A = this chain, B = another copy of it.
Amino acid sequence: MSSNFAPLQNDTFLKALLRQETDYTPLWLMRQAGRYLPEYRATRKGAGSFMSLAKNPGFATEVTLQPVDRYGLDAAILFSDILTVPDAMGLGLYFEEGEGPKFERPLKDEKDVLALQQPPAGSLQYVFDAVTQIRSALNGRVPLIGFAGSPWTLACYMVEGQGSREFHTVKKMLYQRPDLMHRILRTNADAVAAYLNAQIAAGAQAVMIFDSWGGALADGAYQEFSLKYMQDIVNQLQKEQDGRRIPSIVFTKGGGLWLEQIAAIGADAVGLDWTVNLGQARALVGDKVALQGNLDPAVLFAEPAQIRQQAIAALESYGQPAAGHGHVFNLGHGISQFTPPEAVSVLVETVHEHSRQMRQAGR
Contacts and interface: CB of A to CB of B under 8 A. Distances in A.
B219 A274 contact: yes
B176 A303 contact: yes
A295 B167 CA distance: 15
Contacts of A306: 175-176
Contacts of A215: 275
A277 B168 contact: no
A221 B276 CA distance: 11
* Chain A interface residue bracket vs B: 35 or more
A155 to B, nearest CB: 14
Contact of A218 (B168, B172, B274, B302): B274
A352 interface: no
B276 A219 contact: yes
A120 interface: no
Contacts of A167: 298
B301 A176 contact: yes
A296 B336 contact: no
Contacts of A301: 168, 171-172, 175-176
A114 interface: no
A310 B295 CA distance: 36
Interface in A212-247: 215, 217-222
A265 interface: no
Interface string A240-258: 0000000000000010110
A274 B295 CA distance: 25
Contact of A168 (B175, B221, B298): B298
A166 interface: yes
A218 B332 contact: yes
A165 to B, nearest CB: 8
Contacts of A174: 298
Contacts of A338: 168
Contact of A254 (B168, B176, B275, B332): B275
A180 interface: no
A212 to B, nearest CB: 13
A219 B317 CA distance: 11
A10 to B, nearest CB: 29
A113 interface: no
A275 B218 contact: yes
Interface string A169-192: 001101110000000000000000
A299 interface: yes
A199 B167 CA distance: 35
Contact of A298 (B166, B274, B336): B166
Nearest to A223: B277
21 contacts: A166-B298, A168-B298, A168-B301, A168-B336, A175-B306, A175-B310, A176-B306, A217-B275, A218-B274, A218-B275, A218-B296, A218-B299, A219-B274, A219-B277, A221-B296, A254-B254, A256-B256, A256-B257, A257-B257, A257-B275, A257-B277
Interface of A: 166-168, 171-172, 174-176, 215, 217-222, 254, 256-257, 274-277, 295-296, 298-299, 301-303, 306, 310, 313, 332, 336, 338
